[in-house]
């Protein structure tokens, strides 16, 4: 059907351009260029294509819009205002101010209608791939018998990206993955304006982007608003036709290269880097308004007839979309009562009733790497939790991230002799794309219907940091399975030994770093993770570690250690002594065993030592003060920590009289046992450190 576009629509676009200029001018900073030149494109999406309800930002049937070029946040805010989605003129006037509803970059959970936080360029693009994958997984989990595209759980993902997004490596990683996955519900509009902060992008960005995307396996189109004779026309009909063609393409992701002039029709700053990231200035803003036929002396002028038109149109579209979707959803519920129960449990944020019963219990005395214990736990959880899925950045067999008995999430054409799958499988293959993996998982997590995990070696988490930080900023339930956690990697050498990573990731707010000591702590850690709603890094050993007898095991002896269920508290008394201890020995992961051995050695010299397992400092900090005092009584000043990494994280826990045993370099090549001995990560060093700490306290 031909696009219906009237005078009020054009006035709405012009008003959006002026509001963008006014908002940045009042704020004194911002990025007006793209919100001005893409106003018509954003209006076309929101008023003609995007399925959403301005009155219900959580409607299950909505499409997803992702502004990967997040610096152009006004582009989205103004469309939310025009549509009547909890955004008013005062919010635009308060753009970029403290406590406002309109921060400089869109923030998930802060502004209704913002689906995901997009700060660093390209991260939103990759998250859009995650949304598209999540929609298909939900379809397979809840409505697999319905053809793809016809289920109430299917939606389109619209992404607006800029030149900077496409230059960042993360978008290339994600785009390559999207091409493999045949994500026909993903539509990207690339603002091909040839301008970045350093002005003309020709100085650094010259490839034929659409040929690159053809090679990725995408459906490509070009819409050129810059005519051959140099004239410029915002041809919304051509863009509408391209969007319709992209929606009709069901087997490939789509990218539309939209050639624009940044800041048009600003009189002198259009098509320059100056208008990208700074206010127009009084004279240029007046010139913009004059070019659009507006009063150059007035700020934040709103044509009430235009606003009435846009809000009524958005409301009417939402009503019609709801009528269709509600009918299909009601039919689905009637035909799928069991699936509807699953959906209701997921939406309520509850775990399956049988989740604890299926967790593996590992026998004492068994030597097992925590990565192996995690793999067994992942498969057990997957057996009762259909919404649980995940995979690895090409390291599934090394970090044990395969749900046993499950198929891969891949088009059937991508199957191999080893990996069998279908479009609705649950084993994810991210390829060697760590950064994109993290951002894709952000999109999956924000979608809300599944619980996702993804793994790689801990040292490679360096490549993921930007997207992990966004997970923490949004406080969303993404689980990072980071194995090969220390110098236990051994012969691979220092390039693969993440000695500083524990401390650096513990420094990120909202991110819980969990490093279990043995197999049963690992299983308990997974249960605690699933009960959390924020992001977690699960840190696992390559080398085997002892599995200890616990007090809640059948037939446990008097020397059994405390229950592994205490992992959820972050730190707990693992082994104690009668009365107040002389010294407290603290450790995480594979080093806890050395603290336990040291405790026995110290007892031979009548030194009473308490061993505290510290799998997660963040969870321990969240406990009340009385519990923390119970575990680490302030009266006991003699303390020792031991961990195969730099010691910075432990300073507050050991205090001025304590000692921390760790590593102060980048590691070395060699067998794991040799390296632990070389760095003094053993019980004899713990004993010596405990005696030194006690001597300082007693003196």
Q: Which residues are catalytic?
A: 434
Q: Is the peptide bond before 381 cis (omega within 30 degrees of 0)?
A: no
The CA-based diameter of the chain, rounded to the nearest angstrom, is 92
The DSSP element (H or E) to which 454 belongs, if any, is strand 451-457
Quote the CA–CA distance of 137 and 183 in Å, as a whole number.
11
What the block records as the tokens of 71 is 């610096």
Quote the CA–CA distance of 21 and 36 in Å, as a whole number.
7
Task: Give Cβ neighbours of residue 298 (< 8 Å, ≥ 6 apart).
Answer: none
The residue written with tokens 């004492």 in the block is 364
> Which SS3 state, helix, strand or coil, does residue 586 take?
strand
Cα dihedral 342, 346, 350, 354, rounded to 10, equals 40
Sheet containing 388-392: give its strands across: 421-422, 408-409, 427-429, 388-392, 451-457, 478-483, 536-539, 512-514
CB contact at 8 A, 489 and 645: no
Quote the CA–CA distance of 229 and 463 in Å, as a whole number.
45
What the block records as the tokens of 604 is 């031979």
Helices (H) and strands (E) in the chain, counts: 26, 22
Output the CA torsion sign for 621, 627, 631, 634. positive
The DSSP element (H or E) to which 528 belongs, if any, is helix 519-530
CB contact at 8 A, 521 and 665: no
Quote the CA–CA distance of 153 and 131 in Å, as a whole number.
12
3-state secondary structure 97-128: CCCCCCCCCCCCCCCCCCCCCCCCCCHHHHHH
Quote the CA–CA distance of 74 and 20 in Å, as a whole number.
6
Quote the CA–CA distance of 679 and 657 in Å, as a whole number.
22
Question: Interior CA angle at 474 toward 47 and 567, to 5°?
Answer: 150
């Amino acid at each position: 059907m031909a696009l219906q576009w009237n005078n009020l629509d054009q006035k709405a676009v012009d008003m959006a351009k002026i509001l963008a200029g006014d908002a940045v001018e009042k704020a004194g900073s911002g990025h007006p260029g793209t919100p001005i030149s893409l106003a018509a494109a954003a209006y076309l999406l929101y008023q003609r294509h995007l399925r959403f309800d301005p009155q219900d930002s959580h409607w299950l049937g909505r499409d997803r819009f992702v502004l990967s070029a997040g610096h152009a946040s006004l582009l989205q805010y103004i469309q939310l205002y025009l549509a009547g989605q909890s955004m008013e003129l005062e919010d635009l006037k308060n753009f970029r101010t403290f406590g406002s509803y309109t921060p400089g970059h869109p923030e998930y959970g802060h502004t209704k209608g913002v689906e995901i936080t997009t700060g660093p360029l390209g991260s939103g693009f990759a998250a859009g791939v995650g949304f598209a994958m999540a929609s298909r997984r939900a379809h397979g989990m809840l409505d697999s018998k319905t053809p793809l595209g016809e289920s109430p759980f299917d939606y389109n993902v619209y992404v607006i990206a800029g030149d900077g997004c496409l230059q960042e490596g993360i978008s290339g990683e994600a785009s390559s993955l999207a091409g493999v996955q045949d994500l026909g519900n993903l539509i990207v509009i690339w603002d091909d304006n040839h301008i970045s902060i350093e002005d003309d992008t020709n100085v650094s960005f010259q490839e034929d982007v659409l040929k690159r995307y053809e090679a990725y396996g995408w459906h490509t189109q070009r819409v050129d608003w810059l005519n051959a004779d140099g004239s410029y026309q915002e041809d919304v009909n051509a863009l509408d036709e391209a969007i319709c063609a992209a929606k009709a393409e069901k087997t490939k992701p789509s990218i539309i290269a939209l050639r624009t002039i940044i800041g048009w029709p600003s009189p002198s700053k259009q098509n320059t880097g100056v208008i990208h990231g700074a206010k127009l200035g009084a004279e240029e803003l007046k010139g913009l308004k004059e070019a659009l036929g507006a009063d150059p002396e007035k700020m934040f002028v709103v044509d009430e007839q235009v606003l009435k038109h846009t809000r009524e149109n958005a409301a009417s579209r939402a009503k019609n979309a709801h009528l269709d979707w509600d009918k299909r959803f009601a039919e689905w519920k009637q035909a799928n009562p069991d699936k509807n129960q699953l959906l209701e449990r997921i939406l309520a944020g509850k775990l399956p009733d049988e989740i604890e019963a299926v967790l593996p219990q590992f026998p004492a005395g068994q030597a097992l790497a925590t990565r192996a214990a995690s793999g067994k736990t992942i498969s057990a959880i997957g057996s009762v939790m259909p919404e649980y899925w995940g995979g690895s950045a090409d390291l599934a067999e090394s970090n044990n991230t395969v749900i046993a008995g499950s198929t891969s999430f891949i088009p059937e054409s991508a199957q191999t002799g080893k990996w069998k799958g279908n479009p609705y499988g649950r084993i994810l293959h991210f390829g060697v794309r760590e950064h994109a993996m993290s951002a894709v998982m952000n999109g999956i997590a924000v979608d809300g219907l599944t619980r996702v995990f993804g793994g790689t070696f801990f040292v490679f988490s360096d490549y993921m940091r930007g997207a992990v930080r966004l997970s923490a900023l949004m406080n969303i339930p993404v689980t990072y399975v980071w194995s090969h956690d220390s110098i236990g990697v051994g012969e691979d050498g220092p390039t693969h030994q993440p000695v500083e990573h524990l401390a650096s990731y513990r420094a990120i707010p909202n991110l819980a770093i969990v490093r279990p000591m043995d197999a049963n702590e690992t299983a308990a850690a997974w249960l605690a993770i699933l009960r959390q709603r924020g992001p977690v890094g699960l840190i696992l050993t390559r080398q085997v570690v002892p599995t200890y007898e616990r007090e809640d095991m059948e037939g446990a002896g008097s020397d059994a250690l405390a229950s592994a269920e205490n992992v959820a508290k972050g730190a707990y008394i693992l082994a104690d002594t009668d009365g107040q201890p002389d010294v407290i020995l603290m450790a995480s992961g594979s080093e806890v065993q050395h603290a336990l051995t040291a405790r026995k050695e110290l007892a031979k010299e009548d030194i009473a030592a308490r061993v505290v397992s510290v799998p997660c400092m963040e969870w321990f900090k969240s406990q009340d003060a009385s519990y923390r005092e119970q575990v680490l009584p302030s009266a006991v000043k003699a303390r020792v920590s031991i961990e195969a990494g730099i010691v910075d994280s432990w300073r507050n826990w050991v205090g001025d009289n304590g000692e921390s045993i760790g590593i102060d370099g980048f590691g070395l090549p060699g067998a794991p046992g040799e390296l632990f001995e070389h760095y003094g990560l053993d019980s004899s060093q713990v004993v010596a450190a405990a005696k030194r700490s006690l001597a300082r306290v007693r003196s």
